[in-house]
Structure 1
Amino acid sequence: MSTLEKPPLDPYPLSPYVAWAGNRNRDPILEVFKEKLPKSEGYVLEFASGSGMHINYFAPHFQHLSFQPSDMNEEVFENIGQLTQQTNLKNVQPPIKLDLTQPQTWSVLIGKKFDAIFCINIFQVAPISVADGMMNCTANHLSDRGSLFIYGPFKVDGAYTTPSNEEFDRTLLSYGVPEWGLKDITDITRTSQKYGLDLKEKVDMPGNNIILIYGFR
């Protein structure tokens, strides 16, 4: 299949659709990270790493940072490890099980602080309740000057930002999965504020996506 040919929608981390989307968005995200991630030694956590395509693509560009992949689905751990081995990366740690809806799984992070945390393309195929777990976990494990980066398509104040996002949302809703659908930045930010995190910046990205950057007040 050509990299230009869009596969059918399938949020499973190892699906052709996810690989297609990841290949399309990784370079624009990398450019933002080159500007925003810490310039000195530090630690970076990825929520919902999925196949590991993003963390293993970004890590070679930041040899001074140690990257920690995580996911709720242990089935993807082998794929993450294989990608790390293929690129012979020394700054990507073995993946850990982390379910943002199950706080008991966060015990693997006890005593750890991260200078940056990021999450890519989760909210359109996850319940909005994930935001509560994400912000709670972030508030406990983000360093004082660290940032949380959330990438994806979103609604703003209940409205679509583009016709293509409205069409994408209609496609998601047509599958009849209750938690699928574009989420509103307002709702995510309202949740973040419960945990002392504010929306510091919105970065417009190609394909009508946005990077939301949260940090402590």
Structure 2
Amino acid sequence: MTTADRPYHHGELPEALIAAGLRLSRAGGSAALTLRAVTREAGVSATAAYRHFTDRDHLMRDTARRTRRALADTMLETIAELGTDLPPDAQAVQRLRGVGLGYIRFALDEPGWFDLAFSMPDDPSAAPSDRPGPFELLMDSLDAMVATGVLAPERRNGAEWACWGSVHGFADLVARGPLRDQERPVVDQLGRNVVESVIAGVVAGSLDGVRLRPDGSC
């Protein structure tokens, strides 16, 4: 830079760089997150950034972790909006429904962050978060379905990948595939159909005694 770095108090620069990365990736996805662009956005030199991030991948991993946190927040918000005043077995299914719908909602509302969220693997040496991430929310919902008798234990193994693959595939079609130009009400309905199909497939053969919604879904 031809001008002096913007001053930051001790320890604030890493957070400022991640915040700059979030702003850039929100608008342009993972491709917009380069060290040059991020340091320019934060008002500092690349040299200053290298004191905290070894390279672009390091910065991307830390920024992507924040977008996954935002995704988890959207999932939790969607679960809450669907309602929690249900019997335990129906609530377990409702939680899985909220996880799926929240995932799709995030892809629609934040396509740039959705692109970044899974563009880099997490750092295995990073300190564990005290908040559940998207995958943990999915796992917890499936485990609750087993605990309440909705999902047969023998059908639990690997169920998370069937759920994740189906919903992520649809979300990707919406975010950057052939569905990206569809009107939002159409996509929302298609998303609900996908999630209900996922739920039906997961619990097939395990529904004895489960309380169903008026439309026949769990």
TM over 0.5: no
Name the structure with the higher strand share. 1
Name the structure with the higher helix share. 2
Per the normalisation by structure 2, the TM-score is 0.26
